[in-house]
Amino acid sequence: MLEVNQLSKRFEGGRGVGELNFSMQRGEIVGFLGPNGAGKTTSMRLITGYLQPTKGQVLLDSISVHDQGRRVRSRIGYLPENPPLYHDMTVSGYLSFVASLRDVPARGQKVRISEMISRLGLNGRERQLVRSLSKGYKQRLGLAGAIIHKPDLLVLDEPTSGLDPNQILEIRELIRELGEQHTVLLSTHILPEVSTLCNRVLIINQGKLVLDGSPDSIGGRGDEPFKVVVELKGEESRIQSVFSAWEHASAEVLKDNPEAEVQGTVRLLLTGRSGEDFREPLFYQLSEAGIPVLEMKKENMSLEQIFQKLTTSEASAGLAPVDGKEAQDEENAGHLS
Ligand SMILES: Nc1ncnc2c1ncn2[C@@H]1O[C@H](COP(=O)(O)OP(=O)(O)OP(=O)(O)O)[C@@H](O)[C@H]1O
């Protein structure tokens, strides 16, 4: 549905975004992550046609967002980080203003506005001035304005930023619902938000895309050693001897359970080679040695760990492709040349 090809924007000082390549299928909710200044807002403004690229193109169902602006933009809804709300308007006044701006046919406007009001939980606030709305309700109103023209693609720039925990949950729930009818690209700093809402994650760092994958698959990236944590019953010295020369993995005793000695249990972290799942030989090794297994768990890197790894100074060095998609040219990492 959305194709982003070689999309670049160069600002003075070499900042901006460089050669972004990714596509989105209808119905996906894609999380767009990156540290401050990585290029999320710039990318979103390029994708929505609010900013002209220095190079590259954005196609919505094969139509260029930049060449056929008005025609394509009517199919995109954009909620900027600070939605431009007019504070002296009422809630319904604002929605009717946006509806006209977005070419919602005059005949259907009233119905559409009342649909938006009930869909976004703004009932009872129709005549309230925008300036007197709480931040959470302003965000709801911004979202209502972004979808009033029934866009296919919804682009949300940090939609939960500055909200309190209850408002965050409410807006997240709304986004989840919107994701049932719209394709959503969503930038955020809140990593659990991505895990709970999105079926795909893009990570951008210093203007470059450094990861593209599903939240589940990126935890088990192919370039990481295969790791398993086991909880075993028995004496530590005997358990260690079982693994002292084991061919599949090295073992390290974890001292994270103060009750372990009293319980007569040992927790081990086993680290093997990347891509080699040794759980089956592990089972036979332990059963041969007569050591009961209380728990066995494959260790995946958390999204937080991956984010940190990809966006710190050694960012993007040695990245493996995820979900068959190559991370972008590592030589280009850093500021754009
Ligand atoms: N209009 C502009 N003129 C010059 N430089 C700009 C402009 N807009 C953005 N930049 C620079 O481009 C880079 C990317 O900025 P951008 O706002 O896209 O990052 P971001 O990932 O959205 O950051 P944040 O999470 O802090 O909102 C930054 O280095 C920023 O200073």
CA distance 199 to 213: 9
Please state at what angle helix 106-119 crosses helix 135-147, rounded to 10 degrees: 140
**Distance, CA of 91 to chain centre:** 30
Residue 1 CA, ligand 1 centroid: distance in Å: 26
The reply to whether ligand 1 has any atom less than 6 angstroms from the CB of 335 is: no
The reply to whether ligand 1 has any atom less than 6 angstroms from the CB of 38 is: yes
Which among 12, 41, 186, 335 is the best mutation to test ligand 1's pocket, defined by most ligand atoms within 8 Å of the CB? 41
Total residue count of the chain as it appears in this document: 337
Which among 7, 10, 11 is the best mutation to test ligand 1's pocket, defined by most ligand atoms within 8 Å of the CB? 11
The reply to whether ligand 1 has any atom less than 6 angstroms from the CB of 15 is: yes
pLDDT in single tens digits along all 337 residues of the chain: 999 999 999 998 878 898 899 999 998 999 999 888 889 999 999 999 989 999 999 999 999 988 877 778 889 999 998 888 999 999 999 999 999 988 888 888 999 999 999 988 899 999 999 999 988 899 899 999 999 999 999 999 998 887 788 888 888 888 888 888 889 999 988 887 888 889 899 999 988 998 898 877 666 555 678 899 999 999 999 999 999 989 999 999 998 888 888 889 999 999 999 888 999 999 999 999 999 999 999 887 777 777 888 887 544 443 333 333 433 433 333 344 3
ipTM (interface predicted TM)? 0.95
Amino acid at 273: R
Minimal-distance CA residue to ligand 1 atom 12 = 16
The half-sphere exposure of 117 on its side-chain side, counting CA atoms within 13 A, is: 20
The reply to whether ligand 1 has any atom less than 6 angstroms from the CB of 270 is: no
pTM of the full structure: 0.76
Residue 249 CA, ligand 1 centroid: distance in Å: 45
Residue 198, classed as helix, strand or coil, is: coil
Residue 242, classed as helix, strand or coil, is: helix
All structural domains of the chain, each given as residue ranges with its CATH number in brackets, are 2-219+306-332 (3.40.50.300), 225-298 (3.30.70.3100)
